[in-house]
A = this chain, B = another copy of it.
Amino acid sequence: MKQLRIDGDRLWASLMELARIGATPKGGVKRLALTDLDRQGRDLVVGWGRNAGLAITIDQIGNIFMRREGSNPALAPIVTGSHIDTQPTGGKFDGNYGVLAGLEVVRTLNELNISTEAPIEVAVWTNEEGSRFVPVMMGSGVFCGAFSLETAYAAQDLDGKTVQDELACIGYLGAQVPGQHPMGAYFETHIEQGPVLEDAGKVIGVVPAVMGLAWYDCVVTGMEAHAGPTPMGLRRDALQVSTRIMQEVVAIANRYPPYGRGTVGMVQLFPNSRNVIPGEVKFSIDLRNVNDALLDTMHREMLAFVDRTRVASGLAIGIERVSYYPPCPFDPECVAAVRDATDKLGYSTMDVVSGAGHDAIYAARVAPAGMIFVPCKDGISHNEIEDAKPEHLEAGCNVLLHAMLARAKVASN
User: With A267-B267, A272-B265 in contact, do A226 and B355 touch (Cβ < 8 Å)?
Assistant: yes
* Copies per complex of this chain: 2
| Among B213, B229, B267, contact of A194 (Cβ-Cβ < 8 Å) | B229
Q: Mark A234-245, 1 if CB is under 8 A from B, else 0.
A: 100101100100
Residues of B within 8 A of A354 (CB): 228-229
Which of A49-57, A273-281, A291-299, A335-343 lies at the interface with chain B? A273-281
Question: Chain A: interface residue count, which band?
Answer: 35 or more
The answer for the CA separation of A277 and B284 in the assembled complex, in Å, is 11
Residues of B within 8 A of A263 (CB): 227, 237, 275-277
CB distance from A42 to the nearest CB of B (A): 26
Q: Mark A220-231, 1 if CB is under 8 A from B, else 0.
A: 000001111111
| A379 and B192 form a contact (CB under 8 A) | no
The answer for the CA separation of A199 and B275 in the assembled complex, in Å, is 21
Which of A61-69, A149-157, A246-254, A363-371 lies at the interface with chain B? A246-254
The answer for the CA separation of A257 and B235 in the assembled complex, in Å, is 14
CB distance from A312 to the nearest CB of B (A): 14
Most buried by B among A262, A275, A276, A357: A275
User: With A193-B226, A239-B246, A243-B247 in contact, do A262 and B215 touch (Cβ < 8 Å)?
Assistant: no
Counting CB contacts under 8 A, is A356 at the interface? yes
Which A residues contact B (CB, under 8 angstroms)? 192-196, 199, 211, 213, 215, 225-232, 234, 237, 239-240, 243, 246-247, 250, 253-254, 257-258, 260-267, 269, 272-278, 284, 286, 288, 354-357, 379-382
The 8 A-B pairs with the shortest beta carbon distances in the complex, nearest first, are: A194-B229, A228-B355, A229-B355, A227-B263, A243-B243, A274-B284, A228-B356, A227-B286
A-B contact pairs, 8 of them (CB 8 A): A193-B226, A193-B229, A194-B226, A194-B231, A232-B257, A240-B247, A265-B274, A266-B274
